[in-house]
Amino acid sequence: MSDADTASRAAVAVRAAGEGAAVAADSFRTDIAVEHKGEKTDVVTQADRDAQETVIETIRETFPDDPIVGEEADALKQVPETGPAWIVDPIDGTNNYVGGIRAFGTAVAAVVDGEPVGAAFDCPALSDRYRVGPEGAYRNDEPLSVSDCADPEAATVCPTFWWDFDQRDQYAAANRALVERFGDMRRFGCAQLELAMVAAGALEGTMTNLQANPWDTVAGVYLIREAGGVVTDLEGERWRHDSDGLVASNGAIHDELLAAAREIEA
Whole-number pLDDT of residue 248 = 98
Rounded average pLDDT over 217-229: 98
Whole-number pLDDT of residue 4 = 83
Q: What is the DSSP string of the chain?
A: --HHHHHHHHHHHHHHHHHHHHHHHHHTTS---EEESSSTT-EEEHHHHHHHHHHHHHHHHH-TTS-EEESSTT-BSS--SSSEEEEEEEEETHHHHHTT-S--EEEEEEEETTEEEEEEEEETTTTEEEEEETTEEEETTEEP-------GGG-EEEE-S---GGGHHHHHHHHHHHHTTSSEE---S-HHHHHHHHHHTS-SEEEESSPPPGGGTHHHHHHHHHTT-EEE-TTSSBP-TT-SSEEEE-STTHHHHHHHHHHTT-
pLDDT digit string (tens) for 144-158?
999 999 999 999 999
Rounded average pLDDT over 6-34: 95
Rounded average pLDDT over 141-170: 93
- Residue 114 confidence class, pLDDT cut points 50, 70, 90: very high
pLDDT digit string (tens) for 190-217?
999 999 999 999 999 999 999 999 999 9
Task: Determine the Cα–Cα distance for residues 223 and 194; give it in Å rounded to an integer.
Answer: 11
Whole-number pLDDT of residue 265 = 80
Whole-number pLDDT of residue 161 = 84
Whole-number pLDDT of residue 266 = 56
pTM, two decimals, is 0.95
